Amino acid sequence: MPVTLDTSAPDFETAFTTLLNAKREDSPDVDATVAKIIADVRSRGDAAVIDLTAKFDRITLTPDTLRITAQEIADAEAQVSPEDAQALHLAAERIRAYHERQLPEDAEWTDEAGATLGWRWTAISAAGLYVPGGLASYPSSVLMNAIPAKVAGVERLAMVVPTPDGILNPLVLLAAKISGVDEIYRIGGAQAVAALAYGTDTIAPVDKITGPGNAFVAAAKRRVFGKVGIDMIAGPSEILVIADADNDPDWIALDLLSQAEHDESAQSILITTDADFGKAVGRAVIKRLETLERRAIAGPSWRDFGAIITVPDLATAAALSNRIAPEHLELCVAEPDALSAQITHAGAIFLGQWTPEAIGDYIGGPNHVLPTARSARFSSGLSVLDFMKRTTLARMTPEALRAIGPSAERLATSESLQAHGLSVTARLDKLNR
Amino acid sequence: MPVTLDTSAPDFETAFTTLLNAKREDSPDVDATVAKIIADVRSRGDAAVIDLTAKFDRITLTPDTLRITAQEIADAEAQVSPEDAQALHLAAERIRAYHERQLPEDAEWTDEAGATLGWRWTAISAAGLYVPGGLASYPSSVLMNAIPAKVAGVERLAMVVPTPDGILNPLVLLAAKISGVDEIYRIGGAQAVAALAYGTDTIAPVDKITGPGNAFVAAAKRRVFGKVGIDMIAGPSEILVIADADNDPDWIALDLLSQAEHDESAQSILITTDADFGKAVGRAVIKRLETLERRAIAGPSWRDFGAIITVPDLATAAALSNRIAPEHLELCVAEPDALSAQITHAGAIFLGQWTPEAIGDYIGGPNHVLPTARSARFSSGLSVLDFMKRTTLARMTPEALRAIGPSAERLATSESLQAHGLSVTARLDKLNR
């Protein structure tokens, strides 16, 4: 049974802190294995990647067959139903439209000292996208990672996806094609991350790697960080629903279950102003679990990490939500905008009862790669900015240098950095001050 | 002697690649020590911090004296000369003005499907700033880290700075005061990072930690990443100067030395279109090194990692620069804007011969915390955005859900995520489609 809490109970604070700090994931320590795999790929390149793929994915590749061909992608596309293809296209279009609005602006201005200052944004040249194989091979993840990269202007987007026993996922390949992925390699695991980071004869290195993966992939991303950029290391998914009594308990139950079905470590929390409504949602979850296809996953998630919290008012709900800093936050209340204004930490907010979180996973437009494990306190979901970087610009005139240079000399001296100061002094001397 | 390269030489590509891949820093493996320190601070809190500070900084503290008092800060301020104070104030004002322009805008719009979409930026609630002690205790670093945090709207900014043997740096404390730092603790090393990340009885935990530090600090930041956000792990400083013959060799020599004097591992590279000018700069560096206060640092840096590269034209210079992806890039050419437009990867660009890089370290306005070790390929200097995070917003109406919901159902089914689909289906059923 999930935890049931009430802020009016004397032990609430203790119980809530326990809920906040519950460790939901035991990451196996695979770092030593991953270090060996990376070293192997760095020294033997393609040969190492091919050997490791034979071992883990049970397929025999050559340098010529590492890459999935245009013909294979066309064949995959032909296997996708027109309805599925249309849904993918609509999703891609909406995700692209949302992310195009994130393109940042350059700036340049001249200040009162005569200094021209500003910045300029440029795209990362080459990015790598990791896509898991097997059960967690989601076409929607391909769209969510690849489209922001292409909107940013990434010239070369290389995707890796393991194909255990040689089985390709047609929807994943179609999503890659729709998103504008430039190269796809049928490899996975730490070896794929190493190949993207360091390059092999067949796979040119990239500058940044994004995308979800298992413990090996996460450990490999941590290890290559610095050599290349990486996105966040994602943890298990979470949802927090704040709902008043004026909701259908079954809708809220399904919203909670749509996180719980991802992973036994996923967490679904309901905060409600009405204890009876909370109980009704609890019953609806149990009822839905009876027939849910993934009840073997969603059941344990709800049992071990689910929670129903009763609060006296929405202000208390917002305060608790800010302590949780949820990845996904649904506001199923009469005035969601007013409640949203009180939220300071959340990855994504879904406003009103007509906005189930699943809309955001697929088709809404915002990105579904979001900060987990309370990291919405300090980080954001994936965006176009993750595939760009900013170069700052400064240009002094002789007059500007005369105006502000002496302060630079002064500070350089105070930090005992003489050459810093002299580089200004030499120029000011030429101007005879 | 620094390397001298010419793109017209047959072995240029090999020599340039060697230069690019030269390992400039041996990070000692302090990870096991750091893991123990963090575990100690997590279990014993203040007591562990106090013991470790006694051991490493040779000062005896109590929970009551961990924090530097307002009186101590006022005393420090009284020790700073009016000229130094004025320089710090001018720098702070210019840095603040630059960073205020980085404040991002929220967005909200309604699309043709009737979905209201957007995002909202909020500040991180609490940030920690690490400031090194001893030689590398730079007031300018305090300004560059603290001001963006305060411009972003960080409510609580806690600074840590070790004070070996109890010695305070008055300029560092004044810089903290000018920047609006809220709390200062006289602790450093991995123990300070652990205290900021996990909190103790005296020091409340923060959400993100920024600022430079030694190998112990860097290892501690890597370890607490996830629990809190961190900024980049900075490597040794670099400068690339692209200069035509129409420059004073001594100015360019000083610009190169202003990086070299930071660290024996710093790297200074000149790319020039005129081989004779390159030689003149080489001679000027040697001459300046004779009298430079920090010649024991700058000399080895220039000898081991310096380079002078001759190119036939500025387009070639830009292409090489983009492969280097320098932290600092000076364009000492007749038309710096035209050359700047060809630069795709650089942390900061300094345009024209009147803009020595040192201006950017102190007083220009842009941040001096910049991506090192070729990471300008995928990352940016510190900015206001590093102290904020973005929450995405989505709101469907019944009509919007009717328009796009069926595609979400379709994609959920294709990914075998039944509850995701049902959360949409239940709502659409209510609308009778």
How confident is the model over A185-218, as pLDDT tens digits?
A: 999 999 999 999 999 999 999 999 999 998 999 9
pLDDT for residue B432 is more than 90: no
pLDDT at B233: 78
- Predicted confidence band at A22 (pLDDT cuts at 50, 70, 90)? confident
Q: What is the mean pLDDT of residues B339-365?
A: 98
pLDDT for residue B23 is more than 80: no
**Tokens 């969601």 found at:** A336
Of B233 and A110, more confident: A110
Look at residues A253, A172, A272 and name the one whose alpha carbon lies nearest to residue A212: A172
Residue B8 lies in a domain: no
pLDDT at A340: 98
Choose the final residue of a domain: A182, A211, A230.
A230
| Inter-chain CB pairs, A–B, below 8 Å | 371
> Rounded distance, CA B377 to CA A9, Å?
53
Considering the candidates A183, A238, A261, A327, report the single residue annotated as catalytic.
A327
Q: Are residues B298 and B177 in the same domain?
A: no
Question: CB B346 to CB A430 under 8 A?
Answer: no
pLDDT at A23: 76
In chain B, which residue's Cα lies nearest the Cα of A347? B391
Choose the final residue of a domain: B230, B253, B281.
B230
Q: Looking at the 3D structure of chain B, how many domains does it have?
A: 3
Listed by number, the residues of chain B in 345-384 with a beta carbon closer than 8 Å to a beta carbon of chain A are: 345-367, 370-371, 373, 375-381, 383
Binding residues of B for Zn(2+): 259, 262, 361, 420
Binding residues of B for substrate: 237, 259, 262, 328, 361, 415, 420
**Tokens 């504008």 found at:** A180
Q: Are residues B93 and B136 in the same domain?
A: yes
Q: Are residues A51 and A148 in the same domain?
A: yes
Q: Are B305 and B25 in contact (CB under 8 A)?
A: no
Q: Are residues B226 and B275 in the same domain?
A: no
Considering the candidates A238, A264, A328, A357, report the single residue annotated as catalytic.
A328
Touching check for A417 and chain B: CB below 8 Å?
A: yes
Residue B423 lies in a domain: yes
Contacts of B175 in chain A (CB under 8 A): none
pLDDT for residue B135 is more than 90: no
Residue A366 lies in a domain: yes
pLDDT for residue B427 is more than 70: yes
Q: Are residues A263 and A220 in the same domain?
A: no
- Predicted confidence band at B433 (pLDDT cuts at 50, 70, 90)? low
**Tokens 């002789």 found at:** A398
Question: CB B111 to CB A364 under 8 A?
Answer: no
Tokens of A266: 């996923």
Question: CB B414 to CB A373 under 8 A?
Answer: no
Task: Tell me which residue range forms the domain holding B402.
Answer: 396-430
Between helix A139-152 and helix A170-179 the angle, nearest 10°, is 10
Q: Are residues A134 and A212 in the same domain?
A: yes
With H, G, I as helix, E, B as strand and everything else as coil, classify residue A412.
helix
Kindly report, residue by residue over B263-309, the tens digit of the pLDDT. 999 999 999 999 999 999 999 999 999 999 999 999 999 999 999 99
Q: Are residues A255 and A207 in the same domain?
A: no
Q: What is the mean pLDDT of residues B324-345?
A: 97
Contacts of B119 in chain A (CB under 8 A): 102, 366
Residue A2 lies in a domain: no
Contacts of B292 in chain A (CB under 8 A): 418-419
In single-letter form, the type of residue at position B103 comes to L
What order do you get walking across the sheet with A238-243 strand by strand?
A3-6, A307-310, A267-272, A238-243, A328-332, A348-351, B388-395, B116-123, B107-110
Q: What is the mean pLDDT of residues A217-230?
A: 92
Q: Are B169 and B402 in contact (CB under 8 A)?
A: no
> Rounded distance, CA B96 to CA B335, Å?
29
> Rounded distance, CA A173 to CA A159, Å?
10
Listed by number, the residues of chain B in 115-174 with a beta carbon closer than 8 Å to a beta carbon of chain A are: 115-117, 119-120, 122, 124-125, 135, 138-140, 171
At A37, phi and psi to the nearest 5?
Answer: -65, -45
End-to-end C-alpha distance for chain B, whole angstroms: 77
Q: Are A167 and A147 in contact (CB under 8 A)?
A: no
Q: Are residues B265 and B315 in the same domain?
A: yes
pLDDT at B25: 72
Give the angle subtended at the CA of B151 by the CAs of B391 and A233, to the nearest 5°.
Answer: 40
State how far residue B247 is from chain A, nearest Cα, in angstroms. Answer: 11
Choose the final residue of a domain: B213, B230, B247.
B230
> Is B409 noted as a catalytic residue in this protein?
no
Residue B112 lies in a domain: no
- Predicted confidence band at B56 (pLDDT cuts at 50, 70, 90)? very high
Please name the member of A117, A124, A404 whose beta carbon is closest to the beta carbon of B377.
Answer: A124
In single-letter form, the type of residue at position B285 comes to V
> Rounded distance, CA A11 to CA B317, Å?
67
3-state helix, strand, coil in chain A (%, to 5): 50, 15, 35
Tokens of A303: 């049992």
Residue A10 lies in a domain: no
Of A31 and B159, more confident: B159
pLDDT at A414: 94
pLDDT at A398: 97
pLDDT at B137: 79
Q: Are residues B345 and B297 in the same domain?
A: yes
pLDDT at B388: 98
- Predicted confidence band at A377 (pLDDT cuts at 50, 70, 90)? very high
pLDDT at A21: 85
pLDDT at A135: 66
- Predicted confidence band at A335 (pLDDT cuts at 50, 70, 90)? very high
Please name the member of B120, B362, B380 whose beta carbon is closest to the beta carbon of A412.
Answer: B362
Kindly report, residue by residue over B251-266, the tens digit of the pLDDT. 999 999 999 999 999 9
Kindly report, residue by residue over A290-318, the tens digit of the pLDDT. 999 999 999 999 999 999 999 999 999 99
Q: Are residues B420 and B324 in the same domain?
A: no
Pairing of strands A107-110, A116-123: antiparallel
Q: Are residues B244 and B353 in the same domain?
A: yes
Residue B326 lies in a domain: yes
State how far residue B316 is from chain A, nearest Cα, in angstroms. Answer: 18
**DSSP conformational letter for A23:** -
At B270, phi and psi to the nearest 5?
Answer: -110, 130
pLDDT at B333: 98
Cα A370 to chain centroid distance, Å, stands at 4
> Rounded distance, CA B273 to CA B313, Å?
6
Q: Are residues A374 and A420 in the same domain?
A: no
Kindly report, residue by residue over A122-136, the tens digit of the pLDDT. 999 999 999 998 766
Please name the member of B226, B260, B344 whose beta carbon is closest to the beta carbon of A122.
Answer: B344
> Is A99 noted as a catalytic residue in this protein?
no
Q: Are A172 and A131 in contact (CB under 8 A)?
A: yes
Touching check for A226 and chain B: CB below 8 Å?
A: yes
CATH classification at residue A276: 3.40.50.1980
Q: What is the mean pLDDT of residues B95-110?
A: 98
Kindly report, residue by residue over B371-424, the tens digit of the pLDDT. 998 999 999 999 999 999 999 999 999 999 999 999 999 999 999 999 999 999
Touching check for B236 and chain A: CB below 8 Å?
A: no
Q: Has the ipTM of the complex gone over 0.85?
A: yes
pLDDT at A315: 98
> Rounded distance, CA B69 to CA B86, Å?
23
- Predicted confidence band at A326 (pLDDT cuts at 50, 70, 90)? very high
Task: For residue B430, count other CB atoms closer than 10 A to its CB.
Answer: 13
